[in-house]
Amino acid sequence: MNSIFKAAVAGTGAYVPEKILTNQDLEKALDTSDDWITTRTGIKERRIAAENESASTMGAMAARQALESAKVSPDKVDMIIVCTSTPDVLFPSTACFVQKELQAFNSAAYDISAVCSGFVFGLSIAEQYLKAGRYEHILVIGSEANSRIVDWSDRSTCILFGDGAGAVLLKRVEQKEPIGILSSHIYSDGALSDLIVVPGAIGKAGINKKDIDDKNYFIKMSGNATFKVAVKRMSNVILEALEYNDLKIDDVNLLIPHQANQRIISAVAEKLKFPEEKIIMTIQKYGNTSAASIPIGIGDARSTGKIKPGDISVLGVVGAGLTWGSAVIKW
């Protein structure tokens, strides 16, 4: 797109709950060990939402930080996009609850569901609105209360997930020089929808006792098959983003990947020949926070001085659906 309007990052924010659940804590309840979890996932601990916390409250906390860092008041926000698989309720949207919390009543507010890929999908939507000149400020929030939809007796899934939120405020700027989101690339393949799924019926057959008894309202995952697909799709879509912008690996200051599993991230890095010291890793602290993982990673990178003006960052993700995507940001 050759528009003179750009989608620049004006502010960022992140929030994680106070409660920490360590691998040692899980050892007491499951047939598992710190060594088993760390070796297979890279995760040492994860955060768990308090009873009074949810996707909307955590999302609002992260969004408030993003607005404060950008010095933009809530009434200047034109749109709020919340990317979540764990909405507070079926409807209204979690974004409307965030809007109420922020008092951002001049905005349109809605949710999107692309699971772990949600934040990159949300960025892509916001990018189009801003580059078209339609809006000036858009909040993109990834927020997840994953602990509410995991089966805590299933060691293959419950060890992986954590709760948290991250937010980015995008601002329309008018200039010819590249800034902000240079491009985004998003894809889906519904033929692989059974790899990661919460299969319990809602609209299909209504919430029912059989699905409850079979624990079908919790995450089910085919780990080995997901690993192979994730490495291939994430690597390819990152390469696509680099080629689209005439960039080489050496031009990238930071890779901010979805934090699903350390082995996936390492395999992608090896395939791309990307130096691991230039990769943001938060999985050891927070686990897989689904749509929140990339904006939490951005917040972590900014707070530790790993992102500087003029730097190039690449985002890469694979999630349930199957969904996958990438984006290139110039800070």
Residue 1 has pLDDT above 50, yes or no: no
Q: What is the mean pLDDT of the chain?
A: 97
5-176 with 181-330: one CATH topology?
yes
pLDDT digits (tens, 9 = 90+) for 126-168: 999 999 999 999 999 999 999 999 999 999 999 999 999 999 9
- pLDDT for res 183: 98
- pLDDT for res 224: 84
- pLDDT for res 223: 77
Task: Report the catalytic residues.
Answer: 116, 258, 288
Question: Among residues of the chain, what percentage have pLDDT more than 90?
Answer: 98
Topology adopted by domain 181-330: Peroxisomal Thiolase; Chain A, domain 1 (3.40.47)
- pLDDT for res 2: 56
Span 182-200, average pLDDT: 97
- pLDDT for res 225: 87
Residue 206 has pLDDT above 50, yes or no: yes
Span 231-243, average pLDDT: 98
Residue 264 has pLDDT above 50, yes or no: yes
pLDDT digits (tens, 9 = 90+) for 18-43: 999 999 999 999 999 999 999 999 99
Residue 3 has pLDDT above 80, yes or no: no
Span 263-274, average pLDDT: 97
CATH of domain 5-176: 3.40.47.10
**SS3 sequence of the chain:** CCCCEEEEEEEEEEECCCEEEEHHHHHCCCCCCHHHHHHHHCCCEEEECCCCCCHHHHHHHHHHHHHHHHCCCHHHCCEEEEECCCCCCCCCCHHHHHHHHHCCCCCEEEEECCHHHHHHHHHHHHHHHHHCCCCCEEEEEEEEEHHHCCCCCCCCCCCCECEEEEEEEEEEEECCCCCEEEEEEEEECHHHCCCEECCCCCCCCCCCHHHHHCCCCCCEECHHHHHHHHHHHHHHHHHHHHHHCCCCHHHCCEEEECCCCHHHHHHHHHHHCCCHHHECCCHHHHCECHHHHHHHHHHHHHHCCCCCCCCEEEEEEEECCCEEEEEEEEC
pLDDT digits (tens, 9 = 90+) for 92-134: 999 999 999 999 999 999 999 999 999 999 999 999 999 999 9
Domain residue extents for the chain: 5-176, 181-330
